[in-house]
Structure 1
Amino acid sequence: MAKSHVTIKEVAAAAGVSYQTVSKVINNQIQVSKDTEQRIWEAVNTLGYKPNYVARSLRAQRSFTIGYSWPSSPDNQTNPILDHFLQSMFVAAEAHGYYLLCFPYHENYQRHLDTYNELIDTGRVDGFVLSSIEYNDPRVLLLMDRKIPFVAFGRSNPELSFSWIDVDGGQGIRQEMEHIIAQGHQKIGVLAWPEDSRVGNNRISGYFDVMHERGLEVKPEWIRRGQGCFDYGYQATLEILDLPKEIRPTALIAMNDLMAVGAIQAAKSRGVAVGRDFAVGGFDDYPMTQYIDPPLTTLRQPIIEVGKQIITMLLEVINGENNSEPRTIMLNPELVIRGSTVRN
């Protein structure tokens, strides 16, 4: 049985190395041979050694904690994308001896920034992960001004230079558009977010690019902008279906799955055969979309890979391993074709 209060020197003696080597291996500060590393971890596990993280933080002048906050979902909605993102970050951070400090997201932005400042000033975190990035994002401006390590899931203004990882929504919508056009559709509408949405503008760019390249007309009545929820998708689709037949779209691209599911239900309420006569495509691949009737064609984000990479990138910044230009990574979503866009 492992005894209590095992010291690092006892681990070192059991592994046949110095206690400094044990400390550096545990804290991912040194590379040793596989045999040496295995002996150290076997000794750690056999003796039941538990590092003193308070002492570790004092010695290193670090908290070994990463801060993260995110906007809450509406009461009647879940966010499986966020679940995957969080879990992948938790696992990646723990593998490097770090943990996430999740803190409230305040709609009052000054109060929200005050929380960032407090965490920085009290040394509670070594850096931050940001998401839901928008133009002129105050969090980005604050952390850049204070020279605090951070990496963002998403881009902001082109002139702001910082490390980020993102999913190319425009490239994804391009894939979906090409598939829908291959099914014979030319009058294609879009359920979009408001014009001040950075993510929304990136995604809808794929729609406009393909329509322009194919020489297809885009009528103003086909572009509907609003909240990315089921109710808006439902109502906007009814309005599109009420357009005169000669200009009525035969397909819709939605900027997220909730709007797409609303569109499917609206079309079915009018007796329109979704898939055969009216195509609907979404974005995000929420788990429930494969079970609706018909199953939704959508775009799957590599969200687990994003979570892993964003932690690796942030630790590089914290450890001073990336002193040149900020590192940026762009990933592509995967088109998942299901019945909502396939003509039988």
Structure 2
Amino acid sequence: MAVTIKDVAKKAGVSPSTVSRVLSNHPRISAETSRKVKDIMDQLGYHPNIMAKSLVSKTTNSICIMLPKSAEELFSNFFFMELIRGIVTQASRLGYDVLISSGANEKEEIEGVSRLINGRRVDGVILLYSRKDDPVIDFLHENGHHFVLIGRSEQYPDILSVDNDNVQASYDATKHLISLGHERIGFVSGPPDLVVSKDRLKGYLDALHDSGLEMRPEWIVEGEFLQDSGYRAMSFFMNLPNRPTGIVLIDDVVSFGVLRGLHELKYKVPEDLCLVSFNNIPLSELSTPPLSSIDIGIYNLGYTASQVLIQSIQNNNDKSYQKRQIIPHRLMVRESSMYSISKK
């Protein structure tokens, strides 16, 4: 016979309503009582009936992660894996399951999210990216659904979001190269429809302007968050008659493509070209040479996004907490940018 809430309550010496509150993470239940009840649940092998609980509470205790369209980009970039790890860790701690949705285009993304929310399978959505004029954000915002954006929305500055100050982060990366004496500095950007690409480009341009340095259009290359984009950008830069001596790259994975191409052409980093990148994924420290990279706190971005979304769900869009959370960044200086231009 299946173990019931009443069985758990009797053995724990509490009321069935207390057990129900423990299951729903009610704030008025003490940590000691919660721990005691959960221990009894484990001993008895009790598993709550999620469907029944959903009907009573009108919640699912599940959230959705909306993946970017490009599966190739997702599974070849450690950024997304670490982001998802942070989301799942905090969601699990708060008693929420995580579902994943994706689509080949914007229409499929909206249809997928709509099925999950309107079908009462999830309570809210986390978007892992921030696009300009994003119809998915339009749909979620206009229909009053719970969601949080990892990034910054130009359409809706008042929505829940978790982000870095990407303008300042890119400014800091560029100024680091300038401090080493570099005057010809290139920038490898991401897709132009992403807000993060726009913000990091702005930081780069602001740093050049504030330092009185020249900006040349040919020193800015757009691409994807893939190794091949870095490889192609490197080939372009190294064939310029007046090539950059330092480059700011929008992502570590892109930097690996640059390093691969430079190695094939017998160029050395940092002697022939200094590099500063973003995200500080674990492999950036293990590359040859180790990459200087802006640590944006990827895990904390996901962890905080999960926390903010679940707070919004449980408090029904309470207005008392901050809408936009900014995760601090820091520059990790390594061998790829430890070479002053004055030494050349």
Per the TM superposition, whether the score is higher than 0.5 is yes
* Contact residue 169 and residue 203 of structure 1 kept, 8 A: yes
**How many Å apart are 1:302 and its aligned residue?**
1.0
Matched, 1:74 2:80: no
* Contact residue 293 and residue 333 of structure 2 kept, 8 A: yes
Matched, 1:156 2:153: yes
**How many Å apart are 1:214 and its aligned residue?**
1.1
Amino acid at match of 1:312: Q
Quick one: which of 88, 91, 94 aligns to 1:90? 88
Separation in structure 2 between the aligned mates of residue 191 and residue 35 of structure 1, nearest angstrom: 53
Separation in structure 2 between the aligned mates of residue 189 and residue 34 of structure 1, nearest angstrom: 54
- Which runs of structure 1 show a deviation greater than 6 angstroms over 4 or more consecutive aligned residues? none
Match in the other structure for 1:190: 187
CA deviation map 1:46-93 (0-9, x unaligned): 322222212211111122211222124328962222222222222211
Partner secondary structure for residue 339 of structure 2: coil
**How many Å apart are 1:274 and its aligned residue?**
1.2
Query: Structure 2 stretches of 5 or more lacking a match?
Result: none
Match in the other structure for 1:235: 232
Q: State how many pairs are aligned.
A: 338
Match in the other structure for 2:107: 110
**How many Å apart are 1:34 and its aligned residue?**
4.0
Question: Which stretch has the larger CA shift, 134-143 or 169-178?
Answer: 169-178
Mark the CA change 1:279 to 1:239 in structure 2 (over 3 Å): closer, same or farther. Answer: same
* Contact residue 163 and residue 327 of structure 1 kept, 8 A: yes
Quick one: which of 165, 168, 173 aligns to 1:168? 165
Match in the other structure for 1:295: 290
CA deviation map 1:143-162 (0-9, x unaligned): 11111111111112154531
Matched, 1:313 2:308: yes
Matched, 1:330 2:302: no
* Contact residue 171 and residue 332 of structure 1 kept, 8 A: no
Match in the other structure for 1:341: 337
Quick one: which of 4, 24, 28 aligns to 2:25? 28
Amino acid at match of 2:254: M
Mark the CA change 1:254 to 1:30 in structure 2 (over 3 Å): closer, same or farther. Answer: closer
Partner secondary structure for residue 159 of structure 2: coil
Partner secondary structure for residue 72 of structure 2: coil
Separation in structure 1 between the aligned mates of residue 228 and residue 280 of structure 2, nearest angstrom: 18
Match in the other structure for 2:97: 99
Separation in structure 2 between the aligned mates of residue 342 and residue 91 of structure 1, nearest angstrom: 36
Mark the CA change 1:83 to 1:226 in structure 2 (over 3 Å): closer, same or farther. Answer: closer
Quick one: which of 269, 272, 277 aligns to 2:267? 272
Separation in structure 2 between the aligned mates of residue 311 and residue 274 of structure 1, nearest angstrom: 39
Separation in structure 1 between the aligned mates of residue 204 and residue 292 of structure 2, nearest angstrom: 16
Separation in structure 1 between the aligned mates of residue 165 and residue 216 of structure 2, nearest angstrom: 25
Amino acid at match of 1:337: V
**How many Å apart are 1:327 and its aligned residue?**
1.4
Mark the CA change 1:68 to 1:168 in structure 2 (over 3 Å): closer, same or farther. Answer: same
Mark the CA change 1:232 to 1:94 in structure 2 (over 3 Å): closer, same or farther. Answer: closer
Separation in structure 2 between the aligned mates of residue 75 and residue 196 of structure 1, nearest angstrom: 15
* Contact residue 191 and residue 222 of structure 2 kept, 8 A: yes
Match in the other structure for 2:137: 140
Mark the CA change 1:138 to 1:23 in structure 2 (over 3 Å): closer, same or farther. Answer: same
Amino acid at match of 1:9: K
Question: Which stretch has the larger CA shift, 170-179 or 135-144?
Answer: 170-179
Separation in structure 2 between the aligned mates of residue 66 and residue 200 of structure 1, nearest angstrom: 27
**How many Å apart are 1:203 and its aligned residue?**
1.1
Amino acid at match of 1:338: R
Separation in structure 2 between the aligned mates of residue 230 and residue 211 of structure 1, nearest angstrom: 26
* Contact residue 130 and residue 153 of structure 2 kept, 8 A: yes
Mark the CA change 1:101 to 1:223 in structure 2 (over 3 Å): closer, same or farther. Answer: same
* Contact residue 162 and residue 325 of structure 2 kept, 8 A: yes
Q: Percent identity?
A: 30
Quick one: which of 117, 120, 123 aligns to 1:120? 117
Match in the other structure for 2:213: 216
Question: Which stretch has the larger CA shift, 139-148 or 21-30?
Answer: 21-30
Partner secondary structure for residue 58 of structure 1: helix
Amino acid at match of 1:81: F
* Contact residue 169 and residue 332 of structure 1 kept, 8 A: no
Mark the CA change 1:176 to 1:310 in structure 2 (over 3 Å): closer, same or farther. Answer: same
**How many Å apart are 1:305 and its aligned residue?**
1.2
Amino acid at match of 1:98: Y
The CA RMSD measured in Å over matched residues stands at 2.2
Mark the CA change 1:195 to 1:39 in structure 2 (over 3 Å): closer, same or farther. Answer: closer
Separation in structure 1 between the aligned mates of residue 71 and residue 165 of structure 2, nearest angstrom: 23
